[in-house]
Amino acid sequence: MEKILLTRAGYEKLLQELDLLSQVERPQIVGELQEAAYGGRLEKNPDYQSALAQRHKVDRRIRHIQQILANSEVLVGSNVRHTRVGFNCRVRVRNLATGQEKQFKVVSAVESDATRGYLSKTAPLGRALMGRGVGERVTIKAPGGPRTYQILEIEMEAL
């Protein structure tokens, strides 16, 4: 399995979520299950069934986070200015059709979050940008047709 690259912040966020799920949420749900079990027939007890479904959901998320952490590598770098787009770079691009500028931080798929401007290096635009330099143009296929972007600025962030 290929290593999952994480920033220090992404790694810490996953550790915090794992701690919350395993130390707070799961024990609370187990308590709800025990309390609901006193209600008699479990297959007809909606409180028990709801708590059971919630426990399965939390257990799946715990296993998923543990798998990510076991297969991850936290990158440690410097503030050296980079001339090529890479993991943990902040890149500013311009859509050549609309003139609209956007800024992204290139991260792993695990950390991607469009609302925060975190672009997965495996997303179509992320893949196209990787290894490219300022001034270069990349074209991606989008549902509305091809889109071409020009790289305006690359900045390496401290890990």
Q: How far apart are the C-alpha atoms of 17 and 120, rounded to whole Å?
A: 20
Over 80: is that where the pLDDT of 60 sits?
yes
The 3 state secondary structure assigned to 27-66 is HHHHHHHHHHHCCCCHHHCHHHHHHHHHHHHHHHHHHHHH
Kindly report, residue by residue over 96-114, the tens digit of the pLDDT.
999 999 999 999 888 899 8
> Considering the domain boundaries, does residue 37 fall inside one?
yes
- Note whether residue 84 is domain-resident: no
Q: Is the pTM of this model over 0.75?
A: no
CATH of the domain at 30: 1.10.287.180
Identity at 53, one-letter amino acid code:
A
What is the span of the domain harbouring residue 39? 4-74
pLDDT at 80 over 60: no
Name which of 22, 35, 30 is nearest 52 in CA terms.
30
| Residue 152 included in any domain | yes
